[in-house]
Amino acid sequence: MWLNQFLLLGAVLFCIGVYGVLARRNGVMVLMSIELILNAVNINFIAFGAYHGTPIGQVFALFVIAVAAAEVGVGLAIVLLIYRNRSSIDLESVDLLKG
């Protein structure tokens, strides 16, 4: 097994996740795409860890998982708040920063 296959897989997932972050209108969908990105990163970590034969890859992946979970929680809380205030989580309508 080549290292590159895992890395490329990770790159593909990452890019798909980037596309999702930038293209999706729904806030939850954006969060899902962020999950994609994070998982792609995890694959990279694990691959490198396996490549070098150290557990560091796994350690870092575990940390990423933990942070991702926390991030999803807070993110969803924010999305809920947006929904509560605007009755919609269409990110295209959230343009208070417009200048």
Partner 1 sequence: MTPAVLFASETGAMTAEHAGWFLENAWIFPAIPFVSFLLILFFGKRLPKKGAEVGIAALSAVFVCALIAGAQWISHVDAAGAEHGSEPAGETDEGGSHSEHSAARLGVVRQGTDLKLAGTGSSAEEGTASTKEAVKEGVEAAAEEHHVVLPVVTEWKSNWWTIGGIDFGVGTFVDGQAVMMLFVVGLISLLVHIFSTDYVAGDIRYTHYFAFLSLFTASMLLLVLANNLVMFITAWELVGVCSFSLIGHWWEEQNNSNAALKAFLTNRVGDIGLLIGMIVLFFTAGRGETFNILDINIAAASGTVSHTALLVASLCLIAAVMSKSGQFCLHTWLPDAMAGPTPVSALIHAATMVVAGVYMVARLYPVFFEGLSIAGSPINALALVGAITTMVGGTLAFVQRDIKKVLAYSTVSQLGYMVMALGVGAWTAAMFHLATHAFFKACLFLGSGSVSHACNHSFDMKYDMGGLRKYMPKTHATFLIGTLALAGFPLLSGFWSKDEILAGTGGFGLSEGANGNYHLMLIMGLITGGMTAAYMTRCYWLTFLGEWRGADSPNAHHAAHGHDDDHATAVAHAGHDDHADAHDTHDAHDTHDAHGGLPHESGPRITIPLMILAALAALASLANIPEAFSFVPSGWRLRFEHYIEPTSTYFPKISHAEFSPAIAAISIVAALVGCGLVVAYFRKVQATDPKATELADGPVSRGGLPKVGYNILANKFYLDWLYTDVIVATVKGPLARGANWFNKYVLDAIVNGAATVSKRIAGFTYSVLDQQVVDGVVNGTGLGASETGGILRRMQNGRVQGYAALMFAAAAVLAGVFVLAI
Partner 2 sequence: MVAQNIFFAIIALAMVASAVRVVTTKNILHAALYLVVVLAGVAAQFIITGAEFTGVTQVLVYIGAVIVLFLFGIMLTRARIGREEHVDGERRWIAGVVALILFAVMTYALVDAFDTEALDAQAVLEPQSTQMVSDAIFHDYLIPFEAVSFLLLAALIGAIVVARRE
In the window 30-59, what residues touch partner 2 (CB under 8 A)? 31-33, 35-36, 39, 42-43, 46-47, 49-51, 53, 55-59
| Among 7, 29, 46, 91, contact with partner 1 (rule: CB under 8 A) | 91
Instruction: Please tell me whether residue 93 binds partner 2 under the rule CB under 8 A.
Output: no
Q: Does 98 bind partner 1 (CB under 8 A)?
A: yes
Greatest Cα-to-Cα distance within the chain, rounded to the nearest angstrom = 51
Nearer to partner 1, 12 or 59 (CB): 12
Distance CA 67, CA 13 (A): 19
| CA torsion angle 77 83 84 86 (round to 10) | 140
**What's the burial of 47, exposed, middle or buried (CB within 10 Å: 0-12/13-18/19+)?**
buried
Interface residue with partner 1 among 11, 18, 50, 64 (CB under 8 A) is 18
